[in-house]
Amino acid sequence: MLAYAPGDLKGLIDSTPGESVLVHLGEHHAGRTLPDTGVDSHLAFESPRTQLMIRTLVKGSTIAGHFHTVCDEVVVITGGRGELLINGEWKAVKAGDVHVCPRGIVHSTRAPEEGLQFLSIFAPHLPTGTDINWL
C-alpha cells in the first residue's frame, strides 16, 4: 500500500505532460506523416532535467555535423538502419544500438539506404532556442 495519496506529490511535477508516459513506438511511427527529406521529430516528454524526442531520419537524409554545449545526448536506435559519426568515424547502426554523446563532441547522423528511427534523450533539457552548434 502507498504511504501517500496520489495528490500529495503534485508539487514535484514540473514536466510536460504532467504524468507518466508510455509510447508504443510502432503505433507512433505508423501515425506520423514524414517529410520528403530531413528529420521528423516529436517531443514526447520534457522537464527541466531532460527531454525525449521520437525521431525518424528520412531515407537519403543527413543531420549535419554538430555539437551541443549544454546537453549530453543519448541516441537509441529503434528501427531502420543508418550511420552515426562517432569519434570521427562513420559507424553502421541498427535497432538496439545506443550512442552516448557527451556535450562538446561532434556527431552526425545519416540514413543513406532506408529511414532511421531513433530516440534522442537530452540531459539537461535543451536550452530555449537551441543547443545545436553546426559545423
Q: What is the CATH number of domain 37-134?
A: 2.60.120.10
Q: Which of 63, 42, 71, 66 is nearest to 132 (CA)?
A: 66
Q: Which residues of the chain have pLDDT under 50?
A: none
Every domain of the chain and the residues it spans: 37-134
Q: What is the pLDDT of residue 12?
A: 81
CA distances from 85 to 21, 60, 72, 105, 131 (A): 30, 16, 15, 10, 18
pLDDT in tens, 8-37: 667 788 899 988 999 999 999 999 999 999
d(CA 56, CA 90): 19
Q: What is the pLDDT of residue 7?
A: 63
Please say whether the beta carbons of 42 and 32 come within 8 A: yes
User: What's the whole-model pTM score?
Assistant: 0.91
Residues in the chain: 135
Q: What is the pLDDT of residue 11?
A: 74
Q: What is the pLDDT of residue 61?
A: 98
**What residues contact residue 90 under an 8 Å CB cut-off, 6+ apart?**
83, 84, 110
Q: What is the pLDDT of residue 5?
A: 64
Alpha-carbon Rg for the chain, nearest whole angstrom, is: 17
